[in-house]
């Protein structure tokens, strides 16, 4: 039997041990966690909707009408009218013919990749894809291949040598780097090699593109170039769950074939009703994206002046590359001592030698919040230089 304590001790020695934090407040720019009040710069609540009064009120009112549980899977008796309405609203928002709801983004990615592949097929993925996409490829019956990050030429070479049906899978916005996939070049390569392009836009929807329609919209592409797009509802939408958008025949095929969809209890109908309210805010309140763009610009200008190594990102994900896991952890702890919650991201989440502080910005952050973060980063940077 494996010695779990030894394995845990090894993680601690390598500065890779991770702990859960106890949150006792709603999500927001200011949280109470582990008994302390902190300004949070680590949430994926990019538009500040997770505790929006309109969503809270919708939840309260609709819970009286709809209850609080999904009750059964969609194919038994769990597919509620509210699920149907949300799927229709998301199809209109994304510009795709049809949408299918999943309970989580992880399950959506596993379900789509496994349902659309058979033995002898090839799944080709970006090396920095989210773990759920990699796991989807590993658990499918297809051969999994990976190409150098955001390298269209490397992808094309993989496609030229691939056998069977070919699926190309990528994040739209990479969750740990914040950069965007080169979707136009990828779509062109997939067209030349008769491959199906799948984009997981978990960190793009709500944040970029026309009215927050995501990275596919930002690149002026659509369903013809990117036949399948996946989104999560627990980030910019501020609720929970996920969806897949595609053709009507593809969505119907997933209903028949995607095991994580078939064998999972449906999301609570009340949550679908709340998400429709969230979608209206995302579509109509452009000021939230304008606010994000402003915060991103100021943050990048000031942090570069301090001396931290920024990564190329125009999104709310702004990683500060540190390299060493112990150093990243020490910087995170130093910031927390000054009242700021900024997570140190370490292997295996990111490649060895690329540990970082993953700063995430929200439209709900005030100028004062940002000023406090920048002042603290300047202090810890100077302290670090003194001790080196």
Beta strands (DSSP E) in 271-316 are: 309-310
Residue given tokens 């070479």 in the structure block: 157
Q: Which domain holds residue 148?
A: 53-284
Given a cut of 60, is residue 204 above it in pLDDT?
Answer: yes
How many other C-beta atoms can be found within 10 angstroms of the C-beta atom of residue 293? 17
Residues in Cβ contact with 190 at an 8 Å cutoff, skipping those fewer than 6 apart: 159, 166, 168, 196, 197
Question: Within a domain: residue 133?
Answer: yes
Q: What is the pLDDT of residues 221-235, one digit of tens each?
A: 999 999 999 999 999
Q: Which residue in 43, 103, 114, 175 is the catalytic one? A: 175
Number of domains in the chain: 2
Last residue of a domain, one of 284, 307, 323: 284
pLDDT band at 48 (very low <50, low <70, confident <90, very high): very high
- Phi first, then psi: give them for residue 349, nearest 5 degrees: -60, -35
Q: Are residues 279 and 301 in the same domain?
A: no
Q: What is the pLDDT of residues 60-80, one digit of tens each?
A: 999 999 999 999 999 999 999
Q: Which residue in 79, 235, 365, 369 is the catalytic one? A: 235
pTM for the model? 0.94
Residue given tokens 């496994």 in the structure block: 114
Q: Are residues 66 and 168 in the same domain?
A: yes
Question: Within a domain: residue 324?
Answer: yes
Question: Within a domain: residue 7?
Answer: no
Query: Helices 105-115 and 131-139 meet at what angle, rounded to 10?
Result: 30
Beta strands (DSSP E) in the chain are: 30-33, 36-40, 98-102, 122-126, 143-147, 166-171, 196-200, 228-232, 242-246, 309-310, 317-323, 340-341, 343-345, 355-360
Last residue of a domain, one of 284, 299, 332: 284
Q: Are residues 65 and 180 in the same domain?
A: yes
Domain holding 310: CATH number? 3.90.1150.10
**Is 235 a known active-site residue?**
yes
Q: Are residues 272 and 326 in the same domain?
A: no
Contact status, residue 236 vs residue 206, Cβ threshold 8 Å: yes
What's the whole-number mean pLDDT along residues 213-217?
97
- Nearest Cα neighbor of 167 from 232, 230, 85, 218 is 230
**Rounded-to-integer distance, Cα 63 and Cα 83, Å:** 14
Q: Which residue in 203, 278, 313, 369 is the catalytic one? A: 203
Q: What is the pLDDT of residues 82-131, one digit of tens each?
A: 999 999 999 999 999 999 999 999 999 999 999 999 999 999 999 999 99
Q: Are residues 114 and 145 in the same domain?
A: yes
The continuous run of DSSP H or E covering 58 comes out as helix 53-66
Q: Are residues 265 and 373 in the same domain?
A: no
Q: Are residues 355 and 272 in the same domain?
A: no
Q: Are residues 210 and 356 in the same domain?
A: no
Question: Within a domain: residue 4?
Answer: no
What is the distance, to the nearest Å, from the Cα of residue 105 to the centroid of all Cα atoms in its chain? 8
CA distances 342 to 249, 278, 336, Å, are 43, 26, 7
pLDDT band at 385 (very low <50, low <70, confident <90, very high): low
Question: Within a domain: residue 302?
Answer: yes
Q: What is the pLDDT of residues 260-313, one digit of tens each?
A: 999 999 999 999 999 999 999 999 999 999 999 999 999 999 999 999 999 999
Domain holding 120: CATH number? 3.40.640.10
Identify the pLDDT of residue 382: 83
Q: Are residues 93 and 152 in the same domain?
A: yes
pLDDT band at 153 (very low <50, low <70, confident <90, very high): very high
Question: Within a domain: residue 2?
Answer: no
pLDDT band at 383 (very low <50, low <70, confident <90, very high): confident
**Is 166 a known active-site residue?**
no
Given a cut of 60, is residue 168 above it in pLDDT?
Answer: yes
How many other C-beta atoms can be found within 10 angstroms of the C-beta atom of residue 25? 13
Question: Within a domain: residue 271?
Answer: yes
Contact status, residue 174 vs residue 192, Cβ threshold 8 Å: no
The order of strands in the sheet holding 122-126 is 98-102, 242-246, 228-232, 196-200, 166-171, 122-126, 143-147
Residue given tokens 């490829």 in the structure block: 137
> Could you give the 3-state DSSP secondary structure of residue 285?
coil
**Rounded-to-integer distance, Cα 356 and Cα 151, Å:** 22
Identify the pLDDT of residue 34: 93
**Rounded-to-integer distance, Cα 92 and Cα 144, Å:** 33
What's the whole-number mean pLDDT along residues 124-144?
96
What's the whole-number mean pLDDT along residues 124-141?
96
Q: Are residues 242 and 150 in the same domain?
A: yes
* Residue 317 β-bridge partners: 360
What one-character DSSP code corresponds to residue 339?
T
Last residue of a domain, one of 249, 284, 319: 284
Segment among 13-27, 178-192, 355-369 with least mean pLDDT: 13-27
How many other C-beta atoms can be found within 10 angstroms of the C-beta atom of residue 142? 26
What's the whole-number mean pLDDT along residues 3-7?
92
What's the whole-number mean pLDDT along residues 207-233?
97
pLDDT band at 211 (very low <50, low <70, confident <90, very high): very high
Question: Within a domain: residue 10?
Answer: no
For the chain, what percent of residues have pLDDT higher than 90?
Answer: 94
What's the whole-number mean pLDDT along residues 201-220?
97
- Nearest Cα neighbor of 114 from 169, 172, 188 is 169
Report the chain's mean pLDDT, rounded to a whole number: 95
Angle at 179 between CA 174 and CA 183, to 5 degrees: 85
Q: Are residues 37 and 85 in the same domain?
A: no
What one-character DSSP code corresponds to residue 141?
S
Q: Are residues 357 and 268 in the same domain?
A: no
């Amino acid at each position: 039997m494996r010695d779990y304590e030894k394995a845990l001790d090894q993680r601690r020695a390598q500065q890779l041990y991770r702990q859960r934090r106890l949150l006792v407040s709603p999500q927001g720019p200011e949280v109470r966690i582990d008994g302390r009040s902190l300004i949070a710069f680590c949430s994926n609540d990019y538009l500040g909707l997770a505790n929006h009064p309109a969503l809270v009120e919708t939840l309260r009112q609709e819970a009286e009408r709809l209850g609080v549980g999904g009750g059964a899977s969609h194919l038994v008796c769990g597919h509620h009218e509210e699920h149907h309405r949300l799927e229709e609203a998301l199809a209109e928002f994304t510009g795709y013919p049809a949408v299918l709801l999943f309970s989580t983004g992880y399950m959506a990615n596993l379900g789509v990749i496994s349902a659309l592949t058979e033995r002898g097929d090839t799944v080709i993925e970006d090396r920095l894809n989210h773990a759920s996409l990699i796991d989807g490829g590993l658990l499918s019956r297809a051969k999994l291949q990976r190409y150098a990050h955001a390298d269209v030429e490397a992808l094309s070479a993989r496609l030229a040598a691939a056998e069977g049906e070919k699926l190309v899978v990528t994040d739209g916005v990479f969750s740990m780097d914040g950069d965007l996939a080169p979707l136009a070049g990828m779509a062109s390569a997939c067209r030349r090699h008769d491959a199906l392009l799948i984009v997981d836009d978990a960190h793009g929807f709500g944040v970029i593109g026309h009215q927050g329609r995501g990275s596919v919209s930002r690149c002026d592409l659509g369903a013809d170039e990117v036949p399948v797009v996946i989104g999560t509802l627990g980030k910019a939408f501020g609720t929970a769950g996920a969806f897949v958008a595609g053709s009507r025949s593809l969505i119907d095929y997933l209903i028949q074939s995607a095991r994580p969809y078939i064998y999972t209890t449906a999301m609570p109908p009340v949550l679908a009703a709340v998400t429709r309210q969230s979608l209206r805010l995302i579509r109509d309140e452009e000021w939230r994206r304008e606010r994000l763009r402003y915060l991103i610009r100021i943050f990048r200008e000031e942090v570069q002046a301090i001396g931290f190594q920024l990564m190329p990102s125009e999104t709310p994900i702004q990683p500060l590359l540190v390299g060493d896991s112990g150093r990243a952890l020490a910087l995170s702890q130093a910031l927390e001592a000054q009242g700021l919650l900024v997570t140190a991201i370490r292997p295996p989440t990111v490649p060895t030698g690329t540990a970082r502080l993953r700063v995430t910005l929200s439209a709900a952050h005030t100028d004062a919040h940002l000023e406090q973060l920048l002042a603290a980063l300047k202090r810890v940077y100077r302290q670090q230089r003194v001790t080196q």
